[in-house]
């Protein structure tokens, strides 16, 4: 009998790695990865193409052998406990592969029958429920070669949902989906999380990550550069203020005295004067920056100081660092923000 949910304590990470490394000859695809995915989280695994995301997933699922380091999934070492872990994990990796001249329903029946842990008595009902859950019930009898890429992607997710799972690993689950299909997958991920399933989502779509994920990690060139809750990742970015004033020079001097860093290259002319911008560096980028952040006055105090110095303030705004800005800082590359 396969282990059940009681085997994993709530405090045990669903996924944990220490020094996980994968080399192909002299080329290192993943280097020294220390990852921790809390149980019950919707975890976004992010990075540009070629950053090591899929290679990491393959090692976690026992599809690739690590060169060094360790990995545990649902509290069990991988790949040593592969047979005990995989029945508890649903996965969609590198796109689904199906028999093109069989229907979606027939494909799922074949895949389920190949799973020695799957009860045959409930197969028909479980296949129907999985197809319905991903919105493919109307197309269940259609041959897969006639499916769109998005439909094939959803069929792959349906396959992962044929049995209850404690962990779902989804590699680019919205790839090829139209806006309606993307919304359906988003709602599906939320419903899985509400049921207590940990969902590990590899993606490059920031809009999707921000809407469905509670935690995230960022990869760059095979190296983990940040991880934490979305709020923590945003907080480590830069906060920028904008002041619209005809007294730009005086305003810059006031901002400097307040501990902010004016941007000398940003001057936007307007009818009421120039826009002066200033940044407060993130805590991860300056030694002692957390103390400096705490010492910077609140927005209303900044405005009061500007006015007190004779600066005519005709507009003021505080822009907290966005998730996109933070990822660009970390990776040096942009991310897609929409499907």
Cα 7–Cα 9–Cα 11 angle in degrees, nearest 5: 155
Q: Domain 5-234 in CATH: superfamily?
A: P-loop containing nucleotide triphosphate hydrolases (3.40.50.300)
Tens of pLDDT, residues 98-110: 999 999 999 999 9
Contact of 258 with 298, CB cutoff 8 Å: no
Give the architecture (CATH level 2) of 238-320: 2-Layer Sandwich (3.30)
pLDDT exceeds cutoff 60 at 338: no
Average pLDDT of the residues in 194-213: 85
Alpha helices in the chain (DSSP H): 53-60, 82-85, 104-113, 123-133, 149-160, 179-194, 206-212, 230-235, 248-257, 289-295, 299-308, 323-331
- Beta carbons of 229 and 38 less than 8 angstroms apart: no
| Residue (of 54, 88, 56) closest to 69 by Cα position | 56
When pLDDT is averaged across residues 170-195 and rounded to a whole number, the result is: 84
Q: What pLDDT, on the 0 to 100 scale, is given for residue 316?
A: 85
The model's pTM = 0.73
pLDDT in tens, 5-16: 444 445 789 999
Location of each CATH 3.30.70 domain in the chain = 238-320
What is the tens place of the pLDDT at every residue in 266-305? 444 444 458 888 776 443 333 333 444 445 567 788 889 8
Q: What is the pLDDT of residues 123-145, one digit of tens each?
A: 999 999 999 988 899 999 999 99
User: Which of 86, 59, 72, 80 is closest to 167 using CA atoms?
Assistant: 86
DSSP conformation letters of 21-55: EEEETTEEEEEEE--EE-TT-EEEEE--TTSSHHH
* Tally of CB atoms within 10 A around 124: 12
The answer to whether residues 58 and 65 touch, using CB atoms and an 8 Å cutoff, is no
User: CA triplet 190, 192, 195: central angle to 5 degrees?
Assistant: 110
Query: What are the backbone angles phi and psi of residue 299, rounded to the nearest 5°?
Result: -55, -45
Beta carbons of 155 and 147 less than 8 angstroms apart: yes
Residues in the chain: 339
Helix axes 299-308, 248-257, angle to 10 degrees: 130
Question: How much is the pLDDT for 329?
Answer: 65
Cα gap 13→36, rounded to integer Å: 6
Q: Would you say 171 and 303 are in contact if contact means Cβ atoms under 8 Å apart?
A: no
Burial of 271 per CB tally in 10 Å (0-12, 13-18, 19+) = exposed
CA distance 56 to 54: 5
Q: Pinpoint the residues of the chain covered by CATH 3.40.50.300.
A: 5-234
């Amino acid at each position: 009998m396969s282990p059940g949910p009681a085997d994993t304590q709530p405090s045990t990470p669903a996924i944990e790695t220490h020094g996980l490394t994968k080399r192909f000859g002299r080329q290192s695809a993943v280097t020294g990865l220390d990852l921790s995915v809390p149980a019950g989280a919707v975890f976004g695994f992010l990075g540009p193409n070629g950053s090591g995301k899929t290679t990491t997933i393959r090692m976690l699922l026992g599809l690739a052998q690590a060169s060094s380091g360790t990995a545990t999934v649902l509290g069990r070492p991988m790949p040593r406990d592969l047979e005990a872990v995989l029945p508890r994990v649903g996965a969609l990796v590198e796109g689904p592969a199906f028999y093109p001249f069989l229907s979606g329903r027939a494909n799922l029946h074949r895949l389920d029958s190949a799973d020695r842990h799957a009860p045959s008595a409930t197969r028909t009902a479980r296949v129907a429920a999985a197809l319905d859950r991903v919105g493919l019930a109307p197309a269940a009898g259609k041959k897969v070669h006639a499916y769109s890429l998005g439909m094939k992607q959803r069929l792959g997710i349906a396959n992962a949902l044929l049995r209850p799972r404690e962990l779902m690993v989804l590699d680019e689950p919205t790839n090829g989906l139209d806006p309606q299909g993307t919304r359906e997958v988003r709602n599906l991920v939320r419903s899985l999380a509400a049921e207590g399933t940990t969902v590990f989502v590899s993606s490059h779509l920031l809009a999707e990550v921000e809407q469905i994920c509670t935690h995230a990690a960022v990869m760059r060139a095979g190296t983990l550069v940040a991880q934490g809750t979305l709020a923590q990742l945003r907080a480590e970015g830069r906060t920028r203020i904008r002041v619209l004033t005809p007294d730009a020079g005086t305003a810059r001097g006031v901002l400097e005295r307040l501990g902010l860093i004016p941007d000398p290259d940003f001057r936007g002319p307007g009818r009421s004067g120039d826009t002066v911008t200033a940044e407060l560096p993130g805590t991860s980028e300056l030694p002692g920056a957390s103390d400096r952040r705490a010492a910077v006055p609140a927005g209303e105090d900044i405005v009061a100081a500007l006015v007190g110095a004779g600066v005519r303030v005709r507009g003021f705004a505080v822009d907290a660092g966005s998730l996109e800005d933070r990822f660009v800082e970390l990776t040096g590359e942009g991310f897609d923000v929409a499907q």
